[in-house]
Homo-oligomer: A and B are copies of this chain.
Amino acid sequence: METQTKNETLISKEQLLAHWQGHRALTRRVIEAFPEKDLFNFSIGGMRTFAVMAAELLAIAGPGVKGLATDEWKELDEKDPSQGSKAKLLEFWDKTTAEIDEFFPQISEGRLQETMLAFGQYEDKGYCTLLYFIDNEIHHRGQGYVYLRALGIAPPNFWER
């Protein structure tokens, strides 16, 4: 175990939560920017639709924050719960937003430096797991930006959270 000679706060827990939720708010606006038919049907180069990517993000975020907070992990279930409805997808999005706000503060002190088996499958330290959740969303949302541009739609500004 590595010794921390000092305990500088690079980013506080509240800041990290706000950072994550800021990204999720932007992703929500990207979902909203898609015409419903393109959200569920458009893709490039054999990739997944943005709805399927968003379903993956939902499968990770809610169960993921619970796993970080409680150490109870289920297998990933990436099934798209929205049944072809953008409104339904956004409803699930908002439900997850509330779950994150509820469970994130319950992540115990030191937890992000512990090694864990996320979703019973991915072994890593807590902070790597959490950053993976966020980074993976940024990654796929960036792909959604290309879909929107290819559809002739201006995406929301990346820097507005």
Contacts and interface: CB of A to CB of B under 8 A. Distances in A.
Interface of A: 2, 4, 6-13, 15-16, 19, 23, 44-47, 109-110, 112-113, 127-128, 131-132, 135-136, 138-143, 145-152, 158-159
Contact of A23 (B6, B9, B135): B135
A42 to B, nearest CB: 12
A158 B146 contact: no
Given A146-B45, A146-B146, A149-B45, A127 B13 contact: no
Contacts of A12: 2, 4, 10
Nearest to A13: B10
A140 B155 CA distance: 14
A102 to B, nearest CB: 19
A54 to B, nearest CB: 14
Contacts of A136: 158
A61 to B, nearest CB: 16
